[in-house]
């Protein structure tokens, strides 16, 4: 597995904020070891402006970010996914397409910053909170010793990462046998 580039798909319902943030964060933090994508079951048709603003402020990649359907990634000619993460509760409860290659899956639920309607300050804070929580989980994910863990251990770790409630909580990764 050493030197492998992993394809990762982040799913949400609208594909306008959380999944798009996750795509950009992983493409940045993954340093070429990961290729991230995002999609939605019912895409909003546009990326949330506050998500784009935050990514620009952080100088994270925004090339090719768009709101798109998960159908694009269920087709036979789509890139095979190694991992698929749902980042919202609605997408986690939906019947997902069958992904070619049978990727590992986990639910990494994050409150929806696009749903905040209480004013500019609260909406921006909700977007920052989602960004921070996704960044923490993705940082833990990219630090996993994939070449030293078997599939069951990787599956256990990615599910544990998704169970984090607090961005400051640490997950201890499984120790690989020597």
Question: The domain spanning residue 26 has which CATH number?
Answer: 3.40.50.2300
pLDDT at 164: 78
Long-range CB contacts (within 8 A, 24+) of 113-116: 113/17, 113/18, 113/48, 113/50, 113/51, 114/14, 114/16, 114/17, 114/18, 114/44, 114/48, 114/51
Q: Within a domain: residue 116?
A: yes
Q: Which residues pair with 9 in a beta bridge?
A: 37, 84
Q: Within a domain: residue 170?
A: no
Q: Are 62 and 55 in contact (CB under 8 A)?
A: yes
Question: What tens-digit pLDDT sequence spans the chain (178 residues)?
Answer: 456 899 999 999 899 999 999 999 999 999 999 999 999 988 999 999 999 999 999 999 898 899 999 999 888 888 999 999 999 865 555 566 667 778 999 999 998 898 888 778 889 999 999 999 999 999 999 999 999 999 999 999 999 999 876 544 444 444 433 3
Q: Compute how many other C-beta atoms are within 10 angstroms of the C-beta atom of residue 123.
A: 18
Q: In which order are the strands placed within the sheet that holds 34-40? A: 34-40, 6-12, 83-86, 104-107
Q: Are 46 and 16 in contact (CB under 8 A)?
A: yes
Q: Are 46 and 26 in contact (CB under 8 A)?
A: no
Q: Which domain holds residue 143?
A: 6-162
Number of domains the chain is built from: 1
Question: What values do phi and psi take at 39, rounded to 5?
Answer: -160, 170
pLDDT at 89: 65
pTM as predicted: 0.87
Q: Within a domain: residue 12?
A: yes
Q: Within a domain: residue 22?
A: yes
d(CA 154, CA 13): 26
Q: Within a domain: residue 177?
A: no
Q: Within a domain: residue 176?
A: no
pLDDT at 174: 42
Q: Which residue matches tokens 């048709």?
A: 45
Q: Within a domain: residue 63?
A: yes
Q: Within a domain: residue 119?
A: yes
d(CA 25, CA 48): 16
Residue 168, SS3? coil
């Amino acid at each position: 597995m050493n030197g492998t580039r992993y394809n990762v798909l982040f799913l949400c319902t609208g594909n306008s904020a959380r999944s798009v943030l996750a795509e950009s964060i992983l493409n940045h933090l993954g340093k070429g070891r990961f290729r991230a994508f995002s999609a939605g079951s019912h895409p909003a048709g546009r990326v949330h402006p506050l998500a784009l603003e935050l990514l620009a402020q952080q100088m994270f990649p925004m090339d090719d970010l768009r709101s798109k359907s998960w159908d694009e990634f269920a087709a036979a000619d789509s890139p095979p996914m190694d991992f698929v993460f749902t980042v919202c509760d609605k997408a986690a409860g939906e019947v997902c397409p069958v992904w070619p290659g049978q990727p590992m899956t986990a639910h990494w639920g994050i409150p929806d910053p696009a749903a905040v309607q209480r004013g500019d300050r609260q909406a921006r804070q909700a977007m920052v909170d989602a960004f921070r929580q996704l960044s923490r989980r993705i940082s833990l994910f990219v630090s996993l010793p994939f070449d030293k863990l078997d599939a069951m251990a990787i599956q256990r770790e990615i599910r544990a990462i998704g169970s984090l409630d607090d961005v400051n909580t640490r997950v201890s990764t499984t120790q690989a046998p020597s």
